[in-house]
């Protein structure tokens, strides 16, 4: 029987890249604490293993929706996605590991090789600074300048893209301060000691990479806006989590 790697067709990749972008948005470091991103990120990460992400496919005509429903069923049968539940216009799903890694490679993104190298670098810093425990009994490594090599902007993007597979697997965890500076620490799941070989990489500036980037940006934007009571506006958001400030008023007793 062919594996999921062999069953990925070119027509699958735009859908998979879109799903991957929304998935990475959940695990991306929170850089803005003035909106609802932190609440929605927390809930999305907590529920991802058992519920995946909420993926919309309800646009277009009735025939378009039927084609998407067929694709979802077919992709699940081929081991590309895991579906949890579905409706007429949306479904909850997540990529299988084989599909995730193949999609990252097709988009020209770092895979497990880069994630292991970054995790190893964080671990080495933790060992040499083991007396510098900051919180949660963890040693947190700043993305700049420790991991970015003195180049804050371009290198920060590279570090974050290398971190996505590690954050997804809890090899690494990320935190940030009010200025948006991100720090990384080791997660609870140990990374492999030997970096696995990378899959052949696609064009980082090609259409698939753009699909992933657009999906990531859109999901991050919606995660910052979605608040309690806006369930119809969530779109890419995994679950409603922005419940801050919603409290029931206590009634006065009438004597």
Q: How many angstroms separate the CA atoms of 165 and 208, rounded?
A: 18
CA-nearest of 16, 17, 40, 18 to 28 is: 40
Q: How many angstroms separate the CA atoms of 48 and 39, rounded?
A: 14
DSSP state of 92: E
Give the phi and the psi of residue 91 in degrees, each rounded to 5: -150, 160
Quote the pLDDT of residue 116.
95
Query: Residue-wise pLDDT tens for the chain (255 aa)?
Result: 344 445 899 999 999 999 999 999 999 999 888 888 888 999 899 999 999 999 887 667 788 888 888 999 999 999 999 998 766 677 899 999 999 999 999 999 999 999 999 999 999 988 887 666 666 678 888 887 777 765 556 678 889 999 999 999 999 999 888 888 899 999 999 999 888 888 888 888 899 999 999 999 999 998 888 764 444 333 444 333 333 333 344 445 554
In the beta sheet, which residues pair with residue 54? 92
Quote the pLDDT of residue 235.
41
CA-nearest of 126, 149, 121, 120 to 138 is: 126
Residue 79 CB: number of other CB atoms within 10 A? 18
Q: What Cα–Cα distance (Å) separates residue 102 from each residue in 6, 95, 115, 116, 197?
A: 10, 10, 15, 17, 12
- Which sequence spans correspond to the domains of the chain? 8-109+198-245, 112-197
- Continuous H helices in the chain: 4-7, 13-27, 37-51, 62-77, 97-106, 112-128, 154-168, 207-225
Q: How many angstroms separate the CA atoms of 143 and 29, rounded?
A: 11
- Provide the token pair at 25: 């948005």
If 0-12 CB within 10 Å is exposed, 13-18 middle and 19+ buried, where does residue 49 land? exposed
Quote the pLDDT of residue 200.
85
- Provide the token pair at 143: 């993305």
DSSP state of 84: E
Residue burial 96-112, b: 16+ Cβ < 10 Å; e: rest = bebbbbbbbbbbbbbbb
Q: How many angstroms separate the CA atoms of 172 and 147, rounded?
A: 14
- Provide the token pair at 51: 């519920």
DSSP state of 122: H
Q: How many angstroms separate the CA atoms of 81 and 95, rounded?
A: 4
Predicted TM-score (pTM) of the model is 0.82
Quote the pLDDT of residue 135.
63
Quote the pLDDT of residue 37.
87
Quote the pLDDT of residue 242.
36
Quote the pLDDT of residue 184.
93
């Amino acid at each position: 029987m062919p594996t999921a790697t062999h069953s990925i067709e070119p027509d699958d990749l735009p859908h998979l890249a879109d799903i991957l972008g929304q998935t990475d948005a959940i695990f991306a470091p929170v850089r803005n604490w003035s909106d609802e991103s932190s609440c929605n990120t927390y809930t999305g990460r907590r529920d991802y293993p058992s519920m995946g992400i909420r993926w919309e496919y309800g646009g277009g005509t009735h025939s378009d929706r039927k084609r998407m429903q067929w694709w979802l069923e077919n992709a699940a049968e081929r081991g590309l996605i895991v579906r949890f539940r579905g409706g007429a216009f949306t479904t909850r799903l997540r990529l299988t590991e084989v599909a995730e890694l193949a999609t990252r490679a097709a988009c020209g993104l770092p895979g497990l090789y880069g994630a292991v190298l970054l995790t190893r670098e964080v671990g080495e810093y933790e060992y040499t600074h083991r007396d510098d425990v900051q919180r949660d009994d963890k040693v947190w490594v700043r993305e700049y300048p420790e991991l970015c090599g003195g180049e804050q902007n371009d290198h920060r993007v590279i570090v974050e893209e290398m971190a996505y597979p590690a954050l997804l697997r809890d090899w690494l965890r990320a935190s940030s301060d009010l200025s948006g500076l991100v720090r990384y620490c080791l997660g609870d799941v140990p990374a492999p000691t030997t970096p696995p070989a990378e899959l052949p990489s696609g064009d980082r500036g090609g259409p698939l990479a753009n699909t992933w980037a657009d999906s990531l940006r859109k999901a991050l934007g919606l995660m910052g806006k979605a608040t309690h009571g806006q369930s119809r506006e969530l779109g890419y958001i995994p679950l409603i989590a922005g419940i801050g400030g919603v409290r029931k008023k206590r009634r006065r007793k009438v004597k």
